[in-house]
């Protein structure tokens, strides 16, 4: 598993700067006003800092930008990275600076001189997340980044605030690791084993096997995996940091999706290792909650299956009965994620009794057609719940866009042979998928469906992630849980 950069927070030590190894980062505001540390570094480098701050290059630099002075005279460090940042930056500016610094520094040892600058915990979060190295299976994998030493005015207070955010960063990294793994490594059994390991952090974990799911009538989920040699599983993770009815997080965990008998085209099928992205996000949130000891009651439920074509696979035209009791006509075996989610959603309502539910899935290509790779699609049955999530997503800088639900879309799922079809045709494909899931949500349960097909894994680097798995949703869900579902001290 990926090891993120670790951080130590200490008081400013001006006398030790000359001998600090690796790289030194200095924060300076737009006016170029030099702090005590800046003056000391300027003296050590024989005026190099002052020359930079008087240069046109500094004037044109944007907030959060980094200008590096390589091998500065008078310092043991191999570079002095000067970061343009105000003393009281906005969260987005602090994160931008941290991400830019991560790109400049790589995995080298870092001394960040924060002095009295606010938002240092946000900088640390961005440094950790943007410095994430994708898990790979090369013979020579990248080494873990060296530790960062943050010198600041209030190290104990800053370190405590950073620890909570860095716990969430660990959750994001867990999600990215899971989504990045190939399907021959992250099988349904291996996925379940990695989730069971969360018991070491205090999470209660239960794994339901195929025989138990069959007893419960989870035939829609089981139909998806019946063509694979890999056993289907459902994993239930409970973090009980508070009393009361829990928030349920439900994730689609298709570890590989060939499309089944409705086989996908060959080109690009290798990307279907990420079709467990919803389950990966749920896992990341659960790890984050446990690491930061969140005062909240949250249950994560994920359906783990593999969708393969074989002599035992479900076929177009099959009719299956869900756990709810509704029958579903299978017109396309590549619309399998909703079959997994519908049974897990119903199980959650029957056995977890949630106060609210959020499901996540890399569900439809139609979502990518509609929103590209900038936003996840957000569907909800309650306005207040939807607004709470959208506010959290905006705060955390994760793209999310509200989409409609309506009877006309639901009517597109009518079947002459069963209670519903599993697809509604090409038009509004992401919406009809959401309408399908809504049929398995009770009217009195606040519910959000997040179609993350376009944001779970991307080809180009984002603000806080290198190209590849993003861990989208961990930050936003953690923020919403903090704001809406945590018990507050009187």
Whole-angstrom distance, CA of residue 170 vs CA of residue 50: 38
Q: Reduce the DSSP state of residue 402 to 3 states and report it.
A: strand
pLDDT at position 85 is 97
DSSP state of 187: -
- In three state form, how does the secondary structure of 339-355 look? HHHHHHHHHHHHHHCCC
**Which structure tokens are listed for 395?**
């705060």
How many CA atoms, within 13 angstroms, populate the side-chain half-sphere of residue 421? 18
pLDDT at position 355 is 98
pLDDT at position 489 is 67
Domains contained in the chain, CATH given: 7-167 (3.40.220.10), 186-485 (3.40.630.10)
- 363 Cβ contact partners less than 8 Å away, ≥ 6 residues apart: 252, 278, 337, 338, 430, 433, 451, 452, 453
Task: Give the phi and the psi of residue 6 in degrees, each rounded to 5.
Answer: -100, 160
DSSP state of 17: G
Beta strands per DSSP E along 131-223: 148-152, 204-208
pLDDT at position 193 is 98
**Model pTM above 0.85:** yes
Q: Reduce the DSSP state of residue 482 to 3 states and report it.
A: helix
239, β-bridge pairs: 298
pLDDT at position 372 is 97
CA dihedral 53, 56, 57, 63 (to 10 degrees): 70
Active-site amino acid positions: 264, 338
* Whether the Cβ atoms of residue 96 and residue 462 lie closer than 8 Å to each other: no
Q: Sign of torsion, CA 273 276 281 284?
A: negative
CA dihedral 458, 459, 461, 466 (to 10 degrees): 80
Task: Give the phi and the psi of residue 103 in degrees, each rounded to 5.
Answer: -65, -35
Whole-angstrom distance, CA of residue 24 vs CA of residue 109: 9
Tally of helices (H runs) and strands (E runs) in the chain: 16, 19
DSSP state of 472: T
pLDDT at position 157 is 97
**Which structure tokens are listed for 109?**
């040892």
- Laid out side by side, the sheet with 420-421 consists of 319-321, 327-329, 420-421
Q: What is the pLDDT along the chain (490 residues), one digit of tens a residue?
A: 789 999 999 999 999 999 999 999 999 999 999 999 999 999 999 999 999 999 999 999 999 999 999 999 999 999 999 999 999 999 999 999 999 999 999 999 999 999 999 999 999 999 999 999 887 788 877 778 999 999 999 999 999 999 999 999 999 999 999 999 999 999 999 999 999 999 999 999 999 999 999 999 999 999 999 999 999 999 999 999 999 999 999 999 999 999 999 999 999 999 999 999 999 999 999 999 999 999 999 999 999 999 999 999 999 999 999 999 999 999 999 999 999 999 999 999 999 999 999 999 999 999 999 999 999 999 999 999 999 999 999 999 999 999 999 999 999 999 999 999 999 999 999 999 999 999 999 999 999 999 999 999 999 999 999 999 999 999 999 999 999 999 886 5
DSSP state of 485: I
């Amino acid at each position: 598993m990926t090891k993120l950069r670790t951080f130590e927070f200490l008081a400013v030590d001006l006398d030790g700067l000359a001998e600090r190894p690796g790289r030194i980062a200095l924060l300076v505001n737009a006016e170029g006003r030099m702090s005590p540390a800046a003056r000391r570094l300027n003296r050590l480098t024989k005026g190099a800092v002052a020359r930079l701050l008087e240069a046109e290059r500094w004037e044109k630099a944007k907030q959060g930008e980094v200008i590096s002075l390589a091998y500065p005279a008078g310092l043991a460090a191999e570079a002095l990275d000067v970061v343009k940042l105000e003393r009281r930056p906005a969260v987005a500016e602090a994160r931008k600076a941290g991400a830019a610094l991560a790109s400049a520094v790589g995995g080298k040892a870092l001394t960040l001189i924060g002095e009295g600058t606010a938002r240092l915990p946000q900088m640390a979060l961005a440094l950790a997340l943007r410095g994430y190295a994708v898990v790979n299976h090369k013979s020579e994998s990248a080494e873990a980044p060296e530790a960062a030493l943050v010198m600041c005015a209030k190290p104990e207070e800053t370190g405590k605030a950073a620890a909570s955010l860095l716990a969430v960063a660990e959750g994001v990294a867990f999600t990215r690791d899971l989504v990045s793994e190939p399907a021959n490594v992250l099988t349904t059994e291996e996925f379940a084993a990695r989730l069971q390991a969360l018991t070491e952090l205090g999470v209660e974990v239960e794994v339901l096997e195929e025989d138990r799911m069959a007893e419960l009538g989870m035939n829609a989920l089981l139909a998806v995996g019946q063509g694979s040699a890999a056993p289907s599983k459902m994993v239930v993770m409970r973090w009980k940091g508070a009393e009361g009815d829990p928030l349920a997080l439900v994730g689609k965990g298709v570890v590989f999706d060939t499309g089944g008998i409705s086989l996908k085209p060959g080109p690009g099928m290798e990307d279907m290792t990420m079709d467990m992205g919803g389950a990966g996000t749920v896992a990341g949130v659960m790890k984050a909650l446990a690491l930061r000891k969140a005062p909240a009651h949250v249950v994560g439920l994920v359906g783990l299956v593999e969708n393969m074509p074989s002599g035992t696979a479900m076929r177009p035209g099959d009719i299956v009965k869900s756990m709810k009791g509704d029958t579903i006509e299978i017109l396309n075996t590549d619309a399998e994620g909703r079959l997994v989610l519908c049974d897990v959603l119903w199980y959650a309502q029957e056995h977890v009794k949630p106060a609210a539910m959020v499901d996540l899935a890399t569900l439809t290509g139609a979502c990518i057609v509609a929103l590209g790779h900038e936003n996840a699609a957000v569907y909800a049955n309650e306005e207040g719940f939807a607004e709470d999530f959208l506010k959290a997503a905006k705060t955390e800088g994760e793209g999310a866009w509200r989409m409609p639900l309506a009877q006309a879309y639901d009517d597109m799922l009518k079947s002459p042979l069963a209670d519903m079809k599993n697809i509604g045709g090409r038009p509004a494909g992401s919406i009809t998928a959401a309408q399908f899931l809504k049929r398995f949500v009770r009217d009195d349960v606040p519910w959000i469906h997040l179609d993350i097909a376009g944001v779970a894994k991307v080809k180009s680097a984002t603000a806080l992630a290198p190209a590849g798995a993003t861990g989208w949703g961990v930050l936003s869900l953690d923020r919403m849980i903090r704001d809406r579902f945590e018990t507050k001290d009187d």
